[in-house]
Amino acid sequence: MMDLSGKNVFVTGGTRGIGAEVVKSFLNAGATVHTNGRNQVEISELNEKATEKLFYHCVDFLNNEQFIKFLETIKNLNVDILINNAGINKVAVAHEIATEDFDNIQLINVKRPFELAKAVIPHMLESNWGRIVNITSIFGQVTKSKRLSYTTSKFAIKGMTKTLAVDYAADNILANSVAPGFIDTDLTRTILTQSEIDELVLSVPAKRLGKPEEVADLVLFLGSNMNTFITGQNILIDGGFTCV
């Protein structure tokens, strides 16, 4: 039975999109959930509306000083379930990629998840129980023009996940990654027009965009006590896109 009462969860980037749905799913399962965003005004407003089991933290993962300080907070939260959802992207062909952009994408999409995992694993080892779910992408399985920086990061975190799984499976710490395809989020609707979305779904065998809650349901299962033996897997949730 799905009951995460007494479990502490940290979801990175949980103020909108897939992250917000993941936060909601773990709250509904009874967990205490912590998440983060960069906008102090928004975070303050969200905390005013939050339930007693939901906490928003203001931290910019691009700000090294802020992040290092935040790691100390994370170590004191006794995180049982870590969901690395936050990610950034910037498109360009290889010879036009600014080194700073490449570095920032690797920082947010790869290094920060590693540092967070490193911070929470000691508590998981003490508890002999832990779950780590990293959000990758279909672009950690296939690629597309102008996605070099992003694809590099998503292949990297997929590899990181597998190694975490091997290192800690005997300690009942299970690590998996979830690779969403094209999902119907506010960001998707902002970037693409309806006609562009209509054209996009023609390449998806399911003939529609995925729903954020569908991704969240999968993340919840992998990060819960319902998952007892799945580890080291990168599970695609893409309506069949990568099959064709």
Domain ranges of the chain: 8-236
Give the span between the Cα atoms of 225 and 52, in whole angstroms.
22
The catalytically annotated residue of 56, 67, 150, 241 is 150
Give the span between the Cα atoms of 213 and 41, in whole angstroms.
26
Span 8-236: which CATH code?
3.40.50.720
Q: Is 150 a catalytic residue?
A: yes
Give the span between the Cα atoms of 241 and 205, in whole angstroms.
6
CA dist 153 → 18, 23, 77, 87, 119 (Å): 19, 24, 27, 10, 20
pLDDT in tens, 125-145: 999 999 999 999 999 999 999
Residue 1's pLDDT is what? Answer: 61
Residue 191's pLDDT is what? Answer: 82
Confidence of residue 169 (pLDDT cuts 50, 70, 90): very high
Q: What's the whole-model pTM score?
A: 0.97
Q: What is the mean pLDDT of residues 203-207?
A: 97
Residue 192's pLDDT is what? Answer: 86
